[in-house]
Amino acid sequence: MEQAHEKMGPGVSQGAESPPGEMPDAQRELDDLERPQWAPAWMPDQLIRMHPILQLAVLLGLYAIHLLFISKKTFPLPRQLIPNDKGLLNEVGLDSIVGYIVILVVVGWRKIMKLGRPFPNLLQSENPPWKVPRQLKRTLAPTTGILIVSYLASGYGAVFCEQVLCLLSVYGVPLTIPTLRAWKVLLGHLMWVYMGIRILNRRLSPFFPPKGTWLRWKWNANWLWWSIGGYAVSALLFNCADVVNQFILPSSVFSEESVVNKLVNPENRDLFAMGIGSIGPCMSAPIFEEVLYRGFLLPALTAFFPLSLAIPVSSVLFAIHHLNLSGVLPLSVLGLAWAIIYTQSRNLVVTILIHAMWNSRVFLVSLLGL
């Protein structure tokens, strides 16, 4: 997958301008897009200029296939790849195979279409999807500090909300323990999202497109194939990291039940609590975390370090933020993959969709009993 060479800089729409007061025509913007280098002349335009709603429908259909079939299918290996007493490396999942096939197809396609080296340096980009305003460079460290303080404050806010909810339950408001926990987590998360967005928008104004150049997202674009391929490769990389994780960490670490596990598997299968608990991870968190880590932190780090260092550093910080020791390595790998995908696709919509599908999978697996 190779990004199209664009005529305009980050944060500037490529589509035709709409008359004042008229909503932009998604299909017209897609038709005005330059044909990407990876698309040969014989490839139908419908595959590269698909309407966003149709792209979303195709993406969700393929996601359902991956969730219900591909992620559940495994193949036993003739022998254990590495002898161990943890029952690891006895089989390979179809999702890992699909991710590996996607990588092979991309490498082969790059070679066929002569798009440069089959294995490019993914930690480099000649045209990253951001531009850090020079006059704001001095505000990056203080802004980061304020964000950290706000994150900690949201934790205290969540505790306050919990006390209010407990008081309401005393006065007859029906709140089960799982529901109370879900509301506490959601309200604390929404406080953090609100404060984070306000801080970014006020201290780094203009931060968001179209005036801001910190990040680039474009709904009326060809993001389908990046999202499908990125999700498949993410599953492969996560599976590999998870195996390594289980080798290097003691079993006791994995036996500790996290807050996420309690949200996904509430007591007595409280579906209402599960629904409340899923709002943050499946809807708001994918957008906000991508804005925070790929939209702010990654460009901010490039103001002080080369991109080849900024990407892995932002990935580790992304993992640490989740406060889960057993997830540091797998989440760092996911953060690395998503930072690369964003840098190469030049569209934050891609990683937002991948992130949302990834988080939703955990809740859907529990809900559907997969």
Tokens of 175: 């709140």
Provide mean pLDDT across the span 90-118: 93
Q: What is the largest CA-CA distance in the chain?
A: 70
Residue 23, pLDDT above cutoff 80: no
Residue 52, pLDDT above cutoff 70: yes
Q: Does residue 94 form part of some domain?
A: yes
Cα 354–Cα 356–Cα 359 angle in degrees, nearest 5? 105
Q: Residue 294 and residue 343: Cα distance in Å, rounded?
A: 9
Tokens of 341: 């995908």
Contacts of 191 (CB under 8 A, 6+ apart): 153, 154, 157, 158
Q: Residue 300 and residue 199: Cα distance in Å, rounded?
A: 15
Assess contact for 123 and 307: CB atoms under 8 A: yes
With a threshold of 0.85, does the pTM exceed it?
A: yes
Q: Which residues pair with 74 in a beta bridge?
A: 93
Q: Does residue 15 form part of some domain?
A: no
SS3 of 321-358: CCCCHHHHHHHHHHHHHHHHHHHHHCCHHHHHHHHHHH
Residue 1, pLDDT above cutoff 60: no
Q: Does residue 161 form part of some domain?
A: yes
Give pLDDT tens digits for 177-208.
999 999 999 999 999 999 999 999 999 989 99
Q: Does residue 28 form part of some domain?
A: no
Q: Residue 357 and residue 223: Cα distance in Å, rounded?
A: 14
Q: Residue 29 and residue 186: Cα distance in Å, rounded?
A: 36
Domain range for 54 is 36-368
- Closest of 146, 190, 144 to residue 293, by C-alpha: 144
Buried b (16+ CB within 10 A) or exposed e, 197-213: bebbeeebeebbbeebb
Residue 137, pLDDT above cutoff 90: no
* DSSP per-residue codes, 189-248: HHHHHHHHHHHHHHHSSS-STTT--S----SSS--HHHHHHHHHHHHHHHHHHHHHHHHH
The total domain count for the chain is 1
- Helix residue ranges per DSSP H, the chain: 26-32, 52-68, 94-112, 140-170, 177-203, 224-248, 251-255, 259-264, 271-279, 285-289, 298-302, 307-320, 328-345, 348-368
Q: Does residue 180 form part of some domain?
A: yes
Q: Does residue 12 form part of some domain?
A: no
Whole-angstrom CA distances from 168 to 162, 165, 250 are 10, 5, 42
Assess contact for 191 and 318: CB atoms under 8 A: no
Q: Which residues pair with 91 in a beta bridge?
A: 76
Q: Does residue 18 form part of some domain?
A: no
Q: Does residue 176 form part of some domain?
A: yes
Give pLDDT tens digits for 225-282.
999 999 999 999 999 999 999 999 888 777 777 778 888 888 878 889 999 999 999 9
